[in-house]
Structure 1
């Protein structure tokens, strides 16, 4: 089988990029022919090359809305798909999902779109929700399957009449395993907290800092892993609150599993989500998780068992959850073990790969 994966940005490694690279490598390892098409040159191209995956840069596939670039992007993508003649076109990210579905339709190629969280989810303004739902409703008519990474995303797509139930398939994200040595060993010293996320919407590092500022009487340190346009404002807030000696900004890192291994808990505060890979990474490492109860997060984190879920903009509950995990090392260890067991039973990469492969086979069977 020849599969072409398409994603918009090559300049950042977000959850969708990590997901796509893992999936492409898994398919290649199974003996399938894989090509990745991505906008521009950047880290995604570099990582794909390191993995031995054929990755091709498209000049006009850009994230920003631009009529001229988008028209050129459509024709560029359409011609590339016509040349490659894949059995399946699998699209990731909003812009690639729109242009890719239209280009696949023009070439009579079966298309799959993975929604890594919908742009009409709760937390987005009502006006934008209405606009984006209308766009996705139109796009759903010209592809064979839509994969959602959570039950939550499937349900809100049904609620907004985006697609029929039969067209949508839930495939929870999964993560490749790491060596046993990278499973967290919990320490009985000052709690080391970590947040792995880009500094841009929907992530809210400022809310984490505000909560930590109210519990300076406790022993904790905080690491932020990731970069992005909002980093400078968060750094300024940390300095203003006098927390610079406790908060570290590490930028984008290639050693996230190792950093998680040295941490005691993961914190992820967001306005909206699909099913964040960073939460699965933490569960894989045996870490308890404090996260916003948005999107499909509750499908991974069991509140009070493997971590704590806090409501969107729930400052008081976030403070209380942090206080508990910082002061209760036994709870951290117990919750981390529960999260690890949940990862092993529900969120391994092998499970995700086989479920995705079943989607491909189902589409090809329907075509025969």
Structure 2
């Protein structure tokens, strides 16, 4: 008899990389006979997808992203009650807050718990105060984990540097994505840039805008996909820099692949990352990628082969990389094709799923 797995993730109102990761795992595991349940903090785009896939989900009203001791205790109680009711064989926690409250609830109920770190919250680029708080919490929660999965070599090394847990508990499994049919790109006179990123502190739209402002003489249009607390700020920033007619802000959307298929260059300019799934989406869509040298980005993007890796916050280097790709359609094609081959070789979903399933069964 296959296992019943309870996936816990903090937010259900948006569709980020972690939500897509959980959705894809649930979808595939269900085909293998597993019974998958999902618990999250709110209803929204993610839970609508679960509903369409007939995957049961439960709302944990006290589960919020920000640290709040009273709310967090309530969340632990609510999840503990849910565990008693649903009787899962295994708990799989995703994102930092869900990883904290979920592991405490798993410890209380005696159900084995796995935590997947989609990028540590004590990585380079995060404030010192946040690092101290998160590290203190993770040292405790790591003791409650059966296994900890990290999605990049960068995060694996970071866990060892900070002595988060033992080598026996720590497992590296790169993200993977289901393949989609390849659709050749049509070369147009005005290259289309695209970036999928929430407007929040983690993403570095500031550096991107400064670089784009230096490239007004070049033909280009940029589409920014995502929402977030800094959305209105950057819409105003685009106006102030004279970029508003050349940047489209879509907000949160579900048809991301349609935009990638119409684009020529993918950008992910960030302050910190785990192992970004959006880069894999871009490589799958045969796009060259320009990404900041943070987290596991350079484990996906091969500098000067499938795109460019630039130093974090480096406007000048971003401008140079963009200019090279904007001015050379053949270079864009070569790098995009190389990225597609790399995706097919290393980052297809089944590879990730088989490794993850082996942990579930162990």
TM-score by length of 1: 0.96
Q: Look up the match of 2:277.
A: 277
Q: Look up the match of 1:54.
A: 56
1:276-329 C-alpha deviation (Å, 9 max, x unpaired): 111000000000000001000011000000000001111110010000010011
Q: Look up the match of 2:159.
A: 157
**3-state DSSP of counterpart to 1:290:** strand
- Looking at structure 2, the residues matched to 266 and 215 of structure 1 have their Cα atoms a distance apart, in angstroms, of 16
Q: Look up the match of 1:141.
A: 143
Contact in 2 for aligned 1:45/1:56 (Cα 8 Å): no
Which shows bigger deviation, 270-279 or 69-78? Answer: 69-78
Matches within 5 A, 1:189-208: 189-208=189-208
Matches within 5 A, 1:1-368: 1-181=3-183, 184-362=184-362
Contact in 2 for aligned 1:186/1:329 (Cα 8 Å): no
- Looking at structure 2, the residues matched to 228 and 353 of structure 1 have their Cα atoms a distance apart, in angstroms, of 30
**3-state DSSP of counterpart to 1:122:** coil
> Shift of the alpha carbon at 1:271?
0.3
Which shows bigger deviation, 199-208 or 124-133? Answer: 124-133
1:224-263 C-alpha deviation (Å, 9 max, x unpaired): 1111111111111111111222111111112111110000
**3-state DSSP of counterpart to 1:147:** strand
Gapped regions of structure 1 (runs ≥ 5): 363-368
Contact in 2 for aligned 1:186/1:333 (Cα 8 Å): no
- Looking at structure 1, the residues matched to 71 and 133 of structure 2 have their Cα atoms a distance apart, in angstroms, of 21
1:204-230 C-alpha deviation (Å, 9 max, x unpaired): 122211101101111111111111111
> Shift of the alpha carbon at 1:186?
4.3
Gapped regions of structure 2 (runs ≥ 5): none
Q: Look up the match of 1:365.
A: none
**3-state DSSP of counterpart to 2:171:** strand
- Looking at structure 2, the residues matched to 237 and 110 of structure 1 have their Cα atoms a distance apart, in angstroms, of 47
- Looking at structure 2, the residues matched to 260 and 45 of structure 1 have their Cα atoms a distance apart, in angstroms, of 24
- State the aligned residue count: 360
- Which aligned segments of 4 or more residues in structure 1 are displaced greater than 6 angstroms? none
